[in-house]
Structure 1
Amino acid sequence: MPRIRLEADGPVVTLHLANPPMNAFDSAQRRELAAAARELTDAQDVRAVVLYGGERLFAAGADIKALAAMGPEEVRRWNRALQRTFDEIARLPMPVVAALTGYALGGGLELALCADYRVTADDVLLGQPEVQLGIIPGSGGTQRLTRLVGPARAKNLLMTGRRVDAQEALRIGLVDEVVPPESVYPDALAYAKRLAAGPAAALEAIKEAVDHGGDAAVSTGLALERSLFTGVFGTADAATGLRSFLEHGPGKARFGDPVPDGGDTDRDDTKGPTT
């Protein structure tokens, strides 16, 4: 049985974790996730991605039984491969929205941290509990979590291994939206469709500028921004957007192929769905 399913809804693809009962990351799921990342990276018709683990939970981390049986060299190779795979998800050129239900723990939270936006259920529990096993996160938890919530809060979560509920996660910036459990996937999908209706090259450039410029000196980030700005200026979407603004005013442009039903492209706000 496949442990990863790609489910297309127009220009939006849901990357569905399907490794019951806990969606734990074993080697087979890691390989399928890597293959899915490569497929999405090269896809010409995919404009946004939703990460989803199902109605019950997102993912509860690594397969601890398998990890406990590994020696140092084997676990180093395993971790390197999983870290590389998560990085491939983080580097997808299109917007990525995580839909979090139930639990997102350990490697599950590390995968969610690879997304650009996180929609979570109001009863969700999040955490990096690795320290309670005498180890540390190895697939981005110490790095992406720190960049998202700041060093002090990251150290607190990492050093205690405690679980965070939805409201605290929203308050500290770990997630972006809290909704009832039944609304998590529909809301994440609706936001992904809204983004999918935007200019693909500009969205990719924004993602690259924020993700890579934020790790550099301001002067380096500004140079990156300038280069990306110049690059997107010559795209068909830029021509469409500029012409539409001059002829019809702001917010009227339609980029690429029409978005399927469910994509709300007439909203005036510039934020995600309302919390």
Structure 2
Amino acid sequence: MVDVTAEEAADAVGWEIADDQVMVLDLKRGPANALGPSICAGIGAALDEAERHGRIKVVVVSSSLPGVFAAGADIKHMNGIDSESFTAYGDMLRGVLDRLASDRWITVAAVDGLALGGGLELALACHMRVAGREARLGLPEVKLGLIPGAGGTQRLPRVVGRGRALDIMLTARQVPADEAQTMGLVDRLVDPGAAKDAAVRLAKELCSMSMPALRAIVRTVDASFDMAIDEGFRYEVSQEQELFDDGEAAEGLTAFIEKRRPNFA
């Protein structure tokens, strides 16, 4: 089993709430934010707090370590445990990433520096990625005789396509930020060191939107990977209908006509 104390989790991940609706997580486990049990537990504890808070719309994942977002899974931890503990660790990591990838919040990764292995898988679990121009991203697990095991083989092809994903994983190369933006791996590119501030600005912008509509977009886009297009169209219609049923669409349309700011949920 993976046992982490509350103190260890807090030492690995800090968090703060901005404008009552944005939670900003800071990974701070030196020297490279290896995604060991303490960071997993720290992210999980922060998300638990976001749920208790009840008004969080956007979660930003950033790093307080210069030059690194997260440099991978915790190899030292993996190398020193038995198969049962390894499975528990993997389940813990995947569980945290799945929470970030869900439609409970909109999640934004602020990537400055290295995002490698599990670090890139963490960024891929977020709905959007903002990167500094000196960032480098990659999945080098093949060098260790492994494959990306926390969603990388599934999420990366969905973001950049099969060919580019295979190129990144088979060669274990580090993708420069400008190339990452060109292939769609990075959504927004900013000056080095500015990714966190830019991600928080983006988060606040997203908070002005309808949260039910944002969630519906995430659900509908994610569903498109698993549905035939005709089925996807029907699902899209059902999601649109729900926005009329819960009043979000009516509020948005009325506010547009009245030339006022909408009062979205």
Aligned to 2:139: 128
Native 8 Å contact 2:130 2:195 kept in 1:
yes
Aligned to 1:254: 262
Provide the alpha-carbon RMSD of the alignment: 1.8
Equivalent residue in structure 2 for 1:5, among 14, 23, 27 = 14
Equivalent residue in structure 2 for 1:192, among 203, 217, 229 = 203
Which amino acid letter does the alignment assign opposite residue 6 of structure 1?
W
Native 8 Å contact 1:41 1:92 kept in 2:
no
Native 8 Å contact 1:54 1:101 kept in 2:
no
How much has 1:222 moved relative to structure 2? Answer: 1.9
Gaps of 5+ in 2: 1-6
SS at match of 2:193: helix
Which amino acid letter does the alignment assign opposite residue 202 of structure 2?
Y
- Over residues 54-79 of structure 1, what are the superposed CA-to-partner deviations in whole Å (9 max), with x where a residue is unaligned? 25121111111111112333322321
Distance in 2 between residues matched to 1:49 and 1:4, nearest whole Å: 13
How much has 1:124 moved relative to structure 2? Answer: 0.8
Aligned to 1:83: 94
Which amino acid letter does the alignment assign opposite residue 253 of structure 1?
R
Count the aligned residue pairs: 254
Equivalent residue in structure 2 for 1:46, among 56, 63, 75 = 56
Q: 1:182 to 1:82 in 2, by over 3 A?
A: closer
Native 8 Å contact 2:33 2:71 kept in 1:
yes
Identity %: 37
Distance in 1 between residues matched to 2:99 and 2:16, nearest whole Å: 19
Distance in 2 between residues matched to 1:124 and 1:187, nearest whole Å: 14
Q: Which moved more, 1:173-182 or 1:237-246?
A: 237-246
- Over residues 36-66 of structure 1, what are the superposed CA-to-partner deviations in whole Å (9 max), with x where a residue is unaligned? 3344346421111111012512111111111
- Over residues 72-109 of structure 1, what are the superposed CA-to-partner deviations in whole Å (9 max), with x where a residue is unaligned? 33322321221122111100422211110111111110
Q: Give me the TM-score of the superposition, normalised by structure 1.
A: 0.86
How do 1:10-159 residues align onto structure 2 when only pairs under 5 Å count?
A: 10=19, 11-41=21-51, 43-54=53-64, 56=66, 57-159=68-170
SS at match of 1:58: strand
Q: Give me the TM-score of the superposition, normalised by structure 2.
A: 0.89
